[in-house]
Each structure stands twice: as structure tokens, then as C-alpha cells.
Amino acid sequence: LLTLSFDRSLEQKAGYRFYRPTFLTGTDQHGILFLALSNRDSGSIIEIDANFNYSSIRRRSSEKIVMPMAAVFGAGELWVTDYSRDLIHRMKNEKNALYRIFAGLDPVGSKGSGQLQFHGPAGICYYKDAFYAADSGNNRIQKISPDGKFILEFKELQSGNYLNKPF
């Protein structure tokens, strides 16, 4: 069991927000990313290094992230689900800079129930060269290629047993 406590001096840093955390994941540079909701209309991605030192915060980029729920590194990118906007943000690491600079945002999906459409995308993982996104409101999982193309979806686990709001 890991318990984290944060030094109150972090709150004094310009732009620091850690309001309503939703998810944490390791970075591909041995750090930790925390996703958090904001008290405004945009979410935050907070990065700390492996020694729990504050590194950066990203609230704004060329495309606003409103409700980040989950994130995963895969295929050289960071993918973040946006529960409120019904899409997934794809971010490339610019110059190996620990994702401090989000460049080339390329959203995947839109609102709806078709292929690459979402209603409350929640969880996401990367496994065997594909991303799997939990499409909570559509009661399914969508499998997506690293270049953002739809591969397949599944709703039924066994005969008669269907997914119900996967997160």
C-alpha cells in the first residue's frame, strides 16, 4: 500500500492545482502523472518525478481537456480519456521532455454510439499494439489501433452477460 502526502509548499507554485484527482499512472520516463478535475471547466495533468518532486502541470493545450478520467502511454504517445467531451486526446512527447510540452494533439472519436464514437469514455489501456477504451455510456469496449482507427468493439462477455457501464 502506497500513501502519498504532498508538501503544502507545492500549493504556492504558480498554476498548481490538484483538485479532485481521478487517476494516476507511471510515465515512460519513470515519473508519475496524476489526472485531476478542476474547479473550472478544464482538467489538469500533474507530473511529478520518481522522487515525488513536482515537475509540471498541464491544464491548457491547443485542445482543452475537461474531465480526464484515465491515461496510458503506448506507441510513443500519451492517450487521455475525456469523459465530458466524449473523446480521447492523443499527445506526442516533444523532444523527450517528460510530456511537459503537449504537441500535435489529435483527438480520437466524437459523441455518439458508432465506431470511434463515445458516450463517457472512462478507462483506457494499451496492450499488444492496440488501445482499449471503456466506453461507459455505450456499455462497451472499443479496440483502437495506434494510428486512431477502429478495430472492433465488444459488449458481451459470455452468452447473456453484457458489460454495464465499464469504467
pLDDT at residue 59, rounded to an integer: 54
Question: How many other C-beta atoms lie within 10 A of the C-beta of residue 96?
Answer: 8
Pairing of strands 121-126, 131-135: antiparallel
Average pLDDT score over the chain: 77
pLDDT at residue 58, rounded to an integer: 62
Residues in the chain with pLDDT < 70? 1-18, 28-29, 38-41, 55-63, 93-106
pLDDT at residue 150, rounded to an integer: 95
Query: For residues 42, 112, 80 and 23, what is the CA-based torsion angle, rounded to 10 degrees?
Result: 80
Given phi > 0 = left and psi -120 to 50 = alpha, else beta, which region is 39? alpha
Nearest Cα to Cα of residue 72 among 152, 129, 18, 111: 129
pLDDT at residue 86, rounded to an integer: 93
What Rg, from alpha-carbon coordinates, does the chain have?
16
Cell of 33: 502523472
pLDDT at residue 162, rounded to an integer: 85
